Amino acid sequence: MTALALRGALLLALAGPPPAAPDLVRRLSSPSLDVRREAVRELDPERIAQLEPSVAVRAAVVAAADADARIRETALGGLSLLTALTVDRATASSASAVADAIRASPELRPTLERAVRGDPDVDVAVAAAVPFMTVFGADATAEAAVLDRVDELASPADQVRLLDSVAIGGIDAQPTLERLGRLLDDGAPIVQHKAALLLLSGRTLPKDRLDDFLRILETPETFADPYLVRALPRFGVAPDVYLPRLLALQSRLEEELQKPAAERTLAIHNDDYWRQAVQEAVAATRERTP
Protein backbone atom coordinates (compact mmCIF):
# COMPACT_ATOMS: atom_id res chain seq x y z
CA MET A 1 0.00 0.00 0.00
CA THR A 2 1.40 3.41 -0.95
CA ALA A 3 1.78 6.17 1.64
CA LEU A 4 -1.12 8.08 0.07
CA ALA A 5 -3.38 5.04 0.06
CA LEU A 6 -2.38 4.23 3.63
CA ARG A 7 -3.26 7.75 4.77
CA GLY A 8 -6.61 7.58 2.97
CA ALA A 9 -7.49 4.24 4.53
CA LEU A 10 -6.45 5.55 7.93
CA LEU A 11 -8.71 8.59 7.75
CA LEU A 12 -11.56 6.49 6.36
CA ALA A 13 -11.23 4.04 9.23
CA LEU A 14 -11.29 6.78 11.82
CA ALA A 15 -14.46 8.21 10.30
CA GLY A 16 -16.42 4.97 10.48
CA PRO A 17 -18.46 3.60 13.37
CA PRO A 18 -16.55 1.34 15.79
CA PRO A 19 -17.37 -2.35 15.28
CA ALA A 20 -18.40 -4.56 18.14
CA ALA A 21 -15.38 -6.79 18.67
CA PRO A 22 -15.14 -7.91 22.30
CA ASP A 23 -14.59 -11.50 21.22
CA LEU A 24 -12.22 -10.77 18.34
CA VAL A 25 -9.20 -12.46 19.93
CA ARG A 26 -11.30 -15.55 20.69
CA ARG A 27 -12.45 -15.78 17.07
CA LEU A 28 -8.91 -15.30 15.80
CA SER A 29 -7.91 -18.27 17.96
CA SER A 30 -10.68 -20.53 16.61
CA PRO A 31 -9.70 -23.94 15.19
CA SER A 32 -11.87 -23.08 12.16
CA LEU A 33 -9.94 -21.43 9.33
CA ASP A 34 -13.15 -19.90 7.98
CA VAL A 35 -13.91 -18.28 11.34
CA ARG A 36 -10.38 -16.89 11.58
CA ARG A 37 -10.46 -15.55 8.02
CA GLU A 38 -13.74 -13.80 8.73
CA ALA A 39 -12.45 -12.39 12.02
CA VAL A 40 -9.23 -11.03 10.57
CA ARG A 41 -11.22 -8.80 8.24
CA GLU A 42 -11.72 -6.55 11.26
CA LEU A 43 -7.95 -5.96 11.20
CA ASP A 44 -7.67 -4.94 7.57
CA PRO A 45 -6.49 -1.37 6.90
CA GLU A 46 -9.99 -0.02 6.35
CA ARG A 47 -11.27 -1.20 9.75
CA ILE A 48 -8.51 -1.68 12.31
CA ALA A 49 -8.41 1.96 13.44
CA GLN A 50 -12.05 1.65 14.49
CA LEU A 51 -11.08 -0.85 17.19
CA GLU A 52 -10.07 0.06 20.70
CA PRO A 53 -6.25 0.26 20.38
CA SER A 54 -5.36 -2.35 22.99
CA VAL A 55 -7.80 -4.80 21.39
CA ALA A 56 -6.40 -4.08 17.93
CA VAL A 57 -2.79 -4.61 19.00
CA ARG A 58 -3.55 -7.81 20.91
CA ALA A 59 -5.64 -9.19 18.04
CA ALA A 60 -2.94 -8.37 15.49
CA VAL A 61 -0.31 -10.15 17.57
CA VAL A 62 -2.51 -13.24 17.79
CA ALA A 63 -3.32 -13.24 14.06
CA ALA A 64 0.34 -12.66 13.13
CA ALA A 65 1.08 -16.14 14.50
CA ASP A 66 -1.65 -17.85 12.46
CA ALA A 67 -0.77 -20.85 10.29
CA ASP A 68 -2.47 -19.19 7.31
CA ALA A 69 -0.18 -16.73 5.51
CA ARG A 70 -3.00 -14.51 4.28
CA ILE A 71 -4.33 -14.09 7.80
CA ARG A 72 -0.84 -13.11 8.96
CA GLU A 73 -0.44 -10.67 6.08
CA THR A 74 -3.84 -9.04 6.65
CA ALA A 75 -3.20 -8.55 10.36
CA LEU A 76 0.25 -7.09 9.78
CA GLY A 77 -1.04 -4.83 7.02
CA GLY A 78 -3.65 -3.48 9.40
CA LEU A 79 -0.98 -3.03 12.04
CA SER A 80 0.96 -0.91 9.55
CA LEU A 81 -1.95 1.50 9.44
CA LEU A 82 -2.39 1.45 13.20
CA THR A 83 1.26 2.31 13.83
CA ALA A 84 1.00 5.08 11.23
CA LEU A 85 -1.42 6.78 13.63
CA THR A 86 1.54 7.51 15.89
CA VAL A 87 3.38 9.57 13.26
CA ASP A 88 0.60 11.18 11.19
CA ARG A 89 -0.26 14.69 12.36
CA ALA A 90 -3.75 14.42 10.90
CA THR A 91 -4.53 11.72 13.45
CA ALA A 92 -2.78 13.22 16.47
CA SER A 93 -5.88 12.83 18.64
CA SER A 94 -5.66 9.04 18.29
CA ALA A 95 -1.88 8.78 18.48
CA SER A 96 -1.59 8.74 22.27
CA ALA A 97 -3.98 5.82 22.81
CA VAL A 98 -2.33 3.80 20.06
CA ALA A 99 1.16 4.55 21.38
CA ASP A 100 0.06 3.48 24.87
CA ALA A 101 -1.31 0.19 23.50
CA ILE A 102 1.92 -0.45 21.60
CA ARG A 103 4.08 0.21 24.68
CA ALA A 104 1.85 -2.05 26.76
CA SER A 105 2.39 -5.03 24.46
CA PRO A 106 5.59 -6.92 25.31
CA GLU A 107 4.78 -9.39 22.53
CA LEU A 108 4.67 -6.86 19.71
CA ARG A 109 8.36 -6.42 18.94
CA PRO A 110 9.31 -10.12 19.07
CA THR A 111 6.24 -10.97 16.96
CA LEU A 112 7.19 -8.46 14.26
CA GLU A 113 10.87 -9.36 14.35
CA ARG A 114 10.11 -13.07 13.96
CA ALA A 115 7.99 -12.31 10.92
CA VAL A 116 10.63 -10.08 9.37
CA ARG A 117 13.47 -12.49 9.97
CA GLY A 118 11.86 -15.84 9.38
CA ASP A 119 8.36 -15.89 7.92
CA PRO A 120 8.45 -18.28 4.94
CA ASP A 121 6.08 -16.00 3.01
CA VAL A 122 7.89 -12.90 1.73
CA ASP A 123 4.63 -10.93 1.54
CA VAL A 124 4.19 -11.46 5.27
CA ALA A 125 7.76 -10.38 6.01
CA VAL A 126 7.24 -7.21 3.96
CA ALA A 127 3.95 -6.50 5.75
CA ALA A 128 5.67 -6.94 9.12
CA ALA A 129 8.64 -4.75 8.23
CA VAL A 130 6.56 -1.57 7.95
CA PRO A 131 5.12 -1.51 11.50
CA PHE A 132 8.39 -2.96 12.82
CA MET A 133 10.41 -0.06 11.44
CA THR A 134 7.73 2.54 12.19
CA VAL A 135 7.77 1.67 15.89
CA PHE A 136 11.28 0.32 16.45
CA GLY A 137 13.29 1.69 13.53
CA ALA A 138 15.26 4.14 15.67
CA ASP A 139 17.06 1.08 17.05
CA ALA A 140 19.93 0.00 14.79
CA THR A 141 19.21 -3.66 15.61
CA ALA A 142 15.81 -3.29 13.92
CA GLU A 143 17.47 -2.05 10.74
CA ALA A 144 19.88 -4.98 11.02
CA ALA A 145 17.00 -7.46 11.23
CA VAL A 146 15.49 -6.14 8.00
CA LEU A 147 18.85 -6.10 6.22
CA ASP A 148 19.58 -9.65 7.38
CA ARG A 149 16.40 -10.80 5.65
CA VAL A 150 17.23 -8.75 2.55
CA ASP A 151 20.53 -10.61 2.30
CA GLU A 152 18.70 -13.95 2.39
CA LEU A 153 16.18 -13.19 -0.37
CA ALA A 154 16.91 -14.47 -3.86
CA SER A 155 14.58 -12.11 -5.73
CA PRO A 156 15.87 -8.57 -6.34
CA ALA A 157 12.26 -7.35 -6.52
CA ASP A 158 11.55 -8.79 -3.07
CA GLN A 159 14.76 -7.27 -1.73
CA VAL A 160 13.62 -3.84 -2.92
CA ARG A 161 10.18 -4.30 -1.36
CA LEU A 162 11.75 -5.08 1.99
CA LEU A 163 14.27 -2.25 1.70
CA ASP A 164 11.34 0.15 1.32
CA SER A 165 10.75 -0.21 5.05
CA VAL A 166 14.28 0.75 6.07
CA ALA A 167 13.84 4.47 5.44
CA ILE A 168 10.88 4.55 7.84
CA GLY A 169 13.22 4.37 10.80
CA GLY A 170 15.86 6.72 9.42
CA ILE A 171 19.30 5.88 8.10
CA ASP A 172 21.73 6.94 10.81
CA ALA A 173 23.52 3.88 12.18
CA GLN A 174 26.99 3.40 10.72
CA PRO A 175 26.54 -0.40 10.34
CA THR A 176 23.38 0.29 8.30
CA LEU A 177 25.27 2.67 6.03
CA GLU A 178 28.03 0.12 5.57
CA ARG A 179 25.58 -2.64 4.68
CA LEU A 180 23.81 -0.41 2.18
CA GLY A 181 27.24 0.25 0.72
CA ARG A 182 27.75 -3.47 0.23
CA LEU A 183 24.46 -3.65 -1.64
CA LEU A 184 25.84 -0.95 -3.94
CA ASP A 185 28.75 -3.26 -4.66
CA ASP A 186 27.03 -6.61 -5.00
CA GLY A 187 23.30 -6.11 -5.55
CA ALA A 188 21.29 -6.44 -8.74
CA PRO A 189 20.85 -3.10 -10.56
CA ILE A 190 17.46 -2.35 -8.99
CA VAL A 191 18.81 -3.23 -5.55
CA GLN A 192 21.85 -0.99 -6.07
CA HIS A 193 19.50 1.79 -7.09
CA LYS A 194 17.34 1.33 -4.00
CA ALA A 195 20.40 1.27 -1.75
CA ALA A 196 21.59 4.52 -3.33
CA LEU A 197 18.22 6.16 -2.71
CA LEU A 198 18.32 5.04 0.92
CA LEU A 199 21.82 6.45 1.35
CA LEU A 200 20.36 9.83 0.43
CA SER A 201 18.56 9.70 3.78
CA GLY A 202 21.88 9.89 5.60
CA ARG A 203 23.29 13.14 6.89
CA THR A 204 26.23 12.98 4.49
CA LEU A 205 27.21 11.01 1.42
CA PRO A 206 30.63 9.33 1.51
CA LYS A 207 32.95 10.74 -1.15
CA ASP A 208 34.21 7.29 -2.04
CA ARG A 209 30.70 6.36 -3.24
CA LEU A 210 30.45 9.03 -5.93
CA ASP A 211 31.60 6.63 -8.62
CA ASP A 212 28.94 4.13 -7.56
CA PHE A 213 26.22 6.76 -7.93
CA LEU A 214 27.52 7.73 -11.36
CA ARG A 215 27.64 4.08 -12.40
CA ILE A 216 24.02 3.60 -11.31
CA LEU A 217 23.03 6.73 -13.24
CA GLU A 218 24.64 5.22 -16.35
CA THR A 219 22.97 1.80 -15.93
CA PRO A 220 20.07 1.22 -18.38
CA GLU A 221 17.64 -0.03 -15.69
CA THR A 222 18.17 3.03 -13.48
CA PHE A 223 19.31 5.57 -16.04
CA ALA A 224 19.61 9.25 -15.02
CA ASP A 225 17.33 8.93 -11.99
CA PRO A 226 16.47 12.55 -11.08
CA TYR A 227 16.86 11.97 -7.33
CA LEU A 228 20.41 10.70 -7.77
CA VAL A 229 21.28 13.35 -10.35
CA ARG A 230 20.26 16.11 -7.97
CA ALA A 231 22.20 14.52 -5.11
CA LEU A 232 25.62 14.73 -6.78
CA PRO A 233 26.63 18.05 -5.13
CA ARG A 234 26.12 16.46 -1.71
CA PHE A 235 29.30 14.41 -2.16
CA GLY A 236 31.26 17.59 -1.54
CA VAL A 237 33.76 17.04 -4.36
CA ALA A 238 34.87 19.56 -6.95
CA PRO A 239 32.21 19.71 -9.69
CA ASP A 240 34.75 19.21 -12.47
CA VAL A 241 35.30 15.71 -11.07
CA TYR A 242 31.91 14.52 -12.36
CA LEU A 243 30.96 17.16 -14.96
CA PRO A 244 32.34 15.16 -17.94
CA ARG A 245 30.26 12.12 -17.02
CA LEU A 246 27.22 14.30 -16.37
CA LEU A 247 27.59 15.83 -19.84
CA ALA A 248 27.92 12.36 -21.37
CA LEU A 249 24.77 11.34 -19.48
CA GLN A 250 22.91 14.33 -20.90
CA SER A 251 24.03 13.51 -24.45
CA ARG A 252 22.98 9.88 -24.07
CA LEU A 253 19.63 10.95 -22.65
CA GLU A 254 18.91 13.27 -25.55
CA GLU A 255 19.80 10.55 -28.05
CA GLU A 256 17.46 8.14 -26.32
CA LEU A 257 14.60 10.63 -26.23
CA GLN A 258 14.75 10.95 -30.00
CA LYS A 259 13.92 7.27 -30.43
CA PRO A 260 10.38 5.87 -30.64
CA ALA A 261 9.30 4.42 -27.30
CA ALA A 262 9.39 0.87 -28.67
CA GLU A 263 13.07 1.22 -29.59
CA ARG A 264 14.34 2.62 -26.32
CA THR A 265 16.70 0.62 -24.13
CA LEU A 266 16.98 3.00 -21.17
CA ALA A 267 14.49 3.22 -18.30
CA ILE A 268 13.15 6.76 -18.62
CA HIS A 269 9.82 7.06 -16.84
CA ASN A 270 9.00 10.68 -17.63
CA ASP A 271 10.75 12.35 -20.56
CA ASP A 272 10.29 15.95 -19.41
CA TYR A 273 11.16 15.27 -15.79
CA TRP A 274 14.31 13.32 -16.65
CA ARG A 275 15.44 15.98 -19.14
CA GLN A 276 14.78 18.84 -16.73
CA ALA A 277 16.66 17.18 -13.88
CA VAL A 278 19.74 16.56 -16.01
CA GLN A 279 19.65 20.02 -17.62
CA GLU A 280 19.43 21.71 -14.22
CA ALA A 281 22.23 19.57 -12.82
CA VAL A 282 24.50 20.37 -15.78
CA ALA A 283 23.78 24.09 -15.51
CA ALA A 284 24.36 24.17 -11.76
CA THR A 285 27.58 22.15 -12.09
CA ARG A 286 28.93 24.42 -14.79
CA GLU A 287 28.25 27.46 -12.60
CA ARG A 288 30.27 25.91 -9.80
CA THR A 289 33.14 24.79 -12.02
CA PRO A 290 36.13 27.16 -11.96
Asked whether residue 265 is assigned to any structural domain, the reply reads no
Asked whether residue 161 is assigned to any structural domain, the reply reads no
Given this model, what pLDDT does residue 84 score?
A: 86
Asked whether residue 269 is assigned to any structural domain, the reply reads no
Question: pLDDT under 70 in the chain at which residues?
Answer: 1-22, 88-94, 168-172
d(CA 27, CA 35): 6
CB 116 within 8 A of CB 76: no
Pure H helices in the chain: 3-15, 24-28, 33-40, 53-63, 69-84, 92-103, 108-118, 122-136, 140-152, 156-163, 174-186, 189-199, 210-218, 226-231, 243-257, 271-288
Range of the domain at 101: 1-136
Domain count, the chain: 1
Mind listing the pLDDT tens digit for each residue in 3-59?
444 445 444 444 444 444 569 999 999 999 999 999 999 999 888 988 999 999 999
Asked whether residue 99 is assigned to any structural domain, the reply reads yes
Q: Whose CA is closest to 257, among 247, 268, 246, 248?
A: 268
What average pLDDT does the chain have?
88
Given this model, what pLDDT does residue 88 score?
A: 64
d(CA 216, CA 193): 6
pTM of the predicted model, to two decimals? 0.84
Asked whether residue 40 is assigned to any structural domain, the reply reads yes
CB 162 within 8 A of CB 187: no
Asked whether residue 16 is assigned to any structural domain, the reply reads yes
Asked whether residue 152 is assigned to any structural domain, the reply reads no
CB 205 within 8 A of CB 199: yes
Given this model, what pLDDT does residue 13 score?
A: 47
CB 134 within 8 A of CB 167: no
Asked whether residue 52 is assigned to any structural domain, the reply reads yes
